[in-house]
Structure 1
Amino acid sequence: MENHFTLKFLKPEPEISAFVESIGMFHNQGAEAKEVVVLPDGRIDLFFWKPGIEDFQVTLIGLETAPEQRFIPPGTNAFVVSFRPLAAEYILKTSVADILNSAKNLINDFWNFDKDILDDFDAFYNRVTESVKALIPTSVDNRKTKLFDLIYTSNGDLTVSALADQTGWSSRQMSRYFNQQFGLSPKAYCNILRFRASLGHIAQGKLYPQYNFTDQAYFIKEIKRFAGVVPKELSKNKNDRFLLLSVLKGE
């Protein structure tokens, strides 16, 4: 059967990689809505898109803590900037705590982009890169930079107390920052990254713990909590509905 749903995600230029994790697109060229399951991945997504017959929109999506089933209308064309959390404060200059597991529409000419930007993904990639470069501040709190470096390099496999020891923040200060800026605790965020790191192994058919899970039963429980299904069913990815897993398999 011909696949009318296409997606592509590219890594950003190194200069903006502390704030942007990927720049991507998806397009539903089919005649029917595409069922997808959005999995928690620890990213903040900025969509420039035209969903089906609706008008061009710019939508900011906060962090997710649970799987969500969505249907992408036929004719949808979407370009996406996937931000690391540090970008909320320093690039987007806003808290995203109020859109945890939710989203909000922004002005349609955000970053001076308009509907014509959807005509050329390469041009979009370049304009996003230049827009983010122009917004990078001259000074960033070193504690926050180190904090997210530790979280990402460990795939969320460090305790909050270990993060506090290595960054010079107290656990209370760190928790206050996470809850005010992102709407969840640092432990909850680390659990999401640990789940996401496990997806790479599940995509390869490795259905057993790779990180600091207590045992197989706990691993299965955590995967089901974040994906809605057990690892075996997730790895099958029937109809490519788990988009994040499809991306990982393509890498």
Structure 2
Amino acid sequence: MTAPMAAAAAHVHRVLPDNCVDILWQDDGRQAYAVGMMSASFTVPAARPVRTVAVRFKPGAAGLFLGMPLHPLTDTRAGLADLWGRSPAGRLDDALWTDDLSDAQRLRLIETTLLGRLAAMEAASDAARAAPLGMRAVAAIEAANGAVSVDALADTLGVSRQHLTLQFRQQVGIAPKLFARICRFRRALALLRDARRAGDLAALAAECGYFDQSHLIRDFRDFAERTPGAF
């Protein structure tokens, strides 16, 4: 959550893919919206500070709260009223920006709403109570820091590659191969920001499971629109 600040100069913020789905509520008069998984970076212009309350879901979890396949949200956003219905979304939006609510109370209100939706989903479906295939695949990919093939992952989970890809796209939002690439890119980015590692891109590429330095550079261009040296 960010509180209003003094007037600041307009700027543009670049958002990098992070394998997460978010819901944002802002006090600028716009309706709340969900932002899906991203396959590339995008920029957000910020003309003035806006008070924001946001929820970030772990990979594969958002569908349990939104009640929909996540692939249609990829690289886009949708109004919460379109996903939950105008009345439920509107009531929450109005309640959030009541002047006498503290930040902690706003967060509790959102938490209560989300947990209520999750309980309703679980009550309506036995499948919602079990660990979906997509979330098990996410855990395996993250444990390997993205350095895993889809074929090996499918074998580990006891399903076909085609079935894994279909379920993963529905439950997580993007294909498992792309998800793994972004995991590996995020790890490389975190290590690159460590000054002790930034000087040797070949060693960094090998540590993160890239074939070579050019493979690392290609992912940075794809996901950040700049080379590793720019960081």
Shorter chain as denominator, the TM-score bin is 0.7 to 0.9
Q: Which whole-Å CA distance do the structure 2 matches of 1:69 and 1:28 have between them?
A: 21
Alignment partner of 1:113 out of 76, 85, 92: 92
- Whether the aligned pair in 1 keeps the contact of 2:184 and 2:208 (CA below 8 Å) is yes
Q: Which whole-Å CA distance do the structure 2 matches of 1:36 and 1:158 have between them?
A: 31
Partner of 1:83: 57
Aligned residues: 208
Tell me by how many angstroms 1:199 deviates. 2.2
Tell me by how many angstroms 1:96 deviates. 2.6
Alignment partner of 1:130 out of 112, 128, 133: 112
Compute the TM-score of the two structures, normalised by the length of structure 2.
0.78
Tell me by how many angstroms 1:142 deviates. 5.1
**Are residues 143 and 184 of structure 1, via their aligned partners in 2, closer, same or farther at CA, if it must alter by over 3 Å?**
closer
Q: Which whole-Å CA distance do the structure 2 matches of 1:211 and 1:27 have between them?
A: 39
List gaps (5 residues or longer) in structure 1. 1-23, 235-251
- Whether the aligned pair in 1 keeps the contact of 2:134 and 2:172 (CA below 8 Å) is no
Q: Which whole-Å CA distance do the structure 2 matches of 1:26 and 1:154 have between them?
A: 37
Higher strand share: 1
Tell me by how many angstroms 1:217 deviates. 2.0
Mapping of 1:161-200 within 5 angstroms? 161-181=151-171, 184-200=174-190
Q: Which whole-Å CA distance do the structure 2 matches of 1:72 and 1:154 have between them?
A: 36
List gaps (5 residues or longer) in structure 2. 123-127, 199-203
Tell me by how many angstroms 1:85 deviates. 3.3
Q: Which whole-Å CA distance do the structure 1 matches of 2:213 and 2:157 have between them?
A: 32
Compute the TM-score of the two structures, normalised by the length of structure 1.
0.72
Deviations 1:111-151 (CA, angstroms, capped at 9, x unpaired):
84225525633223333333333315371245344222112
RMSD: 2.5
Q: Which amino acid aligns with 1:213?
A: Y
Higher helix share: 2
| Mean CA deviation greater in 100-109 or 36-45 | 100-109
| Mean CA deviation greater in 131-140 or 168-177 | 131-140
